[in-house]
Structure 1
Amino acid sequence: MDAFVSLPEAEQIVPYRLLAPERPFAPVIFTSAHSGRVYSNDLMAGVRLCPLSLRRSEDCFVDELFDAAPLNGAPLLAANFPRAFCDANREAWELDPAMFTDSLPDWVNTTSSRVNAGLGTIAKVVASGEPIYAVKLAFAEAERRIYTYWRPYHDTLTRLIGDIKDRFGYCLVIDCHSMPSGQGKRANSRPVDFVLGDLHGSACASRVTRTAEALLTGKGYLVRRNDPYAGGFITRHYGRPADDVHVLQIEIARALYMDEARIERLARFSFVRRQITELVESITLQVHDLIG
């Protein structure tokens, strides 16, 4: 297994990494909300699963696949905290009341489809469906995680969007994710390689989606739009073309670049990374023509 990072109990996870260009010249932001792999002892308290099981919920190495963004004039914002413990691609307060020892405030969203699936802001289960915790949590722990990890991530993303809009008049966010093997596979067809999510055209200018699709299909990948992933919280919340903010979610099949069982990069990781770099270069170079 590719090593994860473990911290002593006294040390706190730095919420995110912001890889900024030396001189920003593209009105584009790349985000990776699910590639965090720093596991502190306080987060592991009460957890019944081994680190390998937890890590299968990560978008492992996605931040590395897109790390050419700063060289092309666009910041890359990547979470350090693990998705299994706090999910930055959910609303701040999507929580399952059955996970907590005390009653939740009335304003908490306890009925969303994500909560019902066990995948709220504080996840109940990992991707395989196994319960994460051996004990219930206090609501104060959810508050701590949301204020310590979720909020700084989104405060930074909001600031970046505002800064870019002030400079250019518009902003494009590319929200980068990965998906397990076999997602979206249809009978008698090969597995899908990429899913582009733009909330069925409502979160992003269609020319951006078409350009990304054309570049990836031109490389021989099977690409699908909005099926089975149309976009998560980041796409829904920030994708407002009428306000000159566009968001395109990109899901890449993990089987293309990693061993999903062992959580290790495949030998072809560098090849896939180069092709993603070409996608990054194309989007940042063309963005003015696509939505400017």
Structure 2
Amino acid sequence: MSEPVYHLALPVERASCAVFSSPHSGRDYRAAFPTPPRLSLEQLRSSEDAFVDEIFADAPAFGAPLLAARMPRACVDLNRAPDDLDPALIHGATRRFLNPRIAAGLGVIPRVVAEGRPIVDGKLPLAEAQRRLAAYYHPYHARLRGLLDESRARFGLAILYDCHSMPRDALASAPTVRGRRPNVVLGDRFGAACDRWLIDAATDIFAAAGFVVARNAPFAGGHITQAYGRPAAGVQALQIELDRSLYMDEARVEKLRGFGELRALVAGVAAELARIGPRPASIAAE
């Protein structure tokens, strides 16, 4: 039997319509790069949402599945469209339209990691890009779609929490919240990926736990929230970005001493998020 290309933790019973997904926490670099790339492991991990899958690992205890990537983002980026191929990296790829992420080397097969450092020398054959998509990308998304379909069929609603982390430096340009820099950013693609009631509820839950919460700046949501968020069709998608400096040494990619406390705090948040269900129909005033 082949190695799994993702980790799926299922609850004993699906008691929640929520699905938690961590597409950038994969760290099996040996499987992803059997031939070592030009960068060190520490450099490769700079693009990883390190430990996010562990932070949300208690989600199944609250009745919701947790799907997490096994392959690292430096190998294949699950939060990009499958046709976001970079002509500067992939032989035979053509640019159909101006895409700033591809231009920056951040296509579905990334050319660079943080600070623009090239992952490999030269170009990759198109066949290698297609192999990674077939082996890693499509199975993850097929399972994610299946989990959301199961939630919608059982509960009449599916809520996707797309879980990520963000470098502290990325928050330098973030708008302050009551004079404080945010450490959680919720993204709903400016209302396109989920209804207002969901992001309002999530904001209140994180704020009640002591987090400083901003919305849609500097991160409004990526391919996953765009592709799956269909509020009118019963699928709500919300991106969650946690400040990495809360729980890890970003340069060393190591957990801070208070990691356990942060994980417990987020577990409480995840429990509340998992309890959110279909919004009760509003009653018109007489």
- Give the secondary structure class of the aligned counterpart of 2:107: coil
What is residue 127 of structure 2 aligned with on the other side? 140
5+ residue gaps, structure 2, are: none
Matches within 5 A, 1:23-172: 23-40=13-30, 43-45=33-35, 47-100=37-90, 102-104=91-93, 111-172=98-159
2:167 to 174, 180, 202: 180
Tell me: CA distance 1:281–1:46, structure 2 relative to 1, closer, same or farther (3 Å).
closer
Q: CA shift at 1:183, angstroms?
A: 1.8
CA offsets 1:192-217 (integer angstroms, 9 cap, x no match):
20000001112112121111111222
Q: Report % sequence identity.
A: 42
Residue 217 and residue 291 in structure 1: after superposition, are their counterparts in 2 closer, same or farther (change >3 A)?
farther
The CA deviation at 1:24 is: 0.6
What amino acid does structure 2 have at the position aligned with 1:276? V
Aligned residue in 1 for 2:260? 270
Residue 229 (str. 1) matches residue 229 (str. 2): no
The one of 228, 251, 273 equivalent to 1:238 is 228
Superposition CA RMSD, Å: 2.1
* Secondary structure in structure 2 of the residue aligned to 1:247: strand
User: Which of the numbers 196, 199, 202 marks the counterpart of 2:189?
Assistant: 199
Question: How many residues end up aligned between the 2 structures?
Answer: 279
CA contact (8 A) 2:157 2:278 kept: no
Q: Return closer, same or farther for 1:268/1:19 CA change in 2, 3 Å cut-off.
A: same
TM norm structure 1: 0.90
TM-score (norm 2): 0.91
Letter in 2 for 1:262: R
Deviations 1:147-204 (A, max 9, x none): 0000000000111111111111110000000000132334885432000000111211
Q: Would the aligned equivalents of 2:157 and 2:277 in 1 still touch at CA under 8 Å?
A: no
**Distance verdict in 2 for CA 1:35–1:64, change over 3 Å:** same
CA distance in 1, matches of 2:267, 2:280: 19
SS at the partner of 2:135? helix
Where do 5+ consecutive residues of structure 1 fail to align?
1-10
Task: Using the TM superposition, give the Cα deviation of residue 127 of structure 1 relative to its aligned residue in structure 2, in angstroms.
Answer: 1.6
Q: Mark the CA change 1:180 to 1:282 in structure 2 (over 3 Å): closer, same or farther.
A: same
Structure 2: distance between partners of 1:271 and 1:290: 34
Give yes or no for the alignment of 1:208 onto 2:198: yes
Read off the aligned partner of 2:139 and give its amino acid letter: P
- Give the superposition deviation at 1:46: 6.2
Report the alpha carbon displacement of residue 140 of structure 1 after superposing the two structures with TM.
0.4
Aligned to 2:210, the other structure's residue is in SS state coil
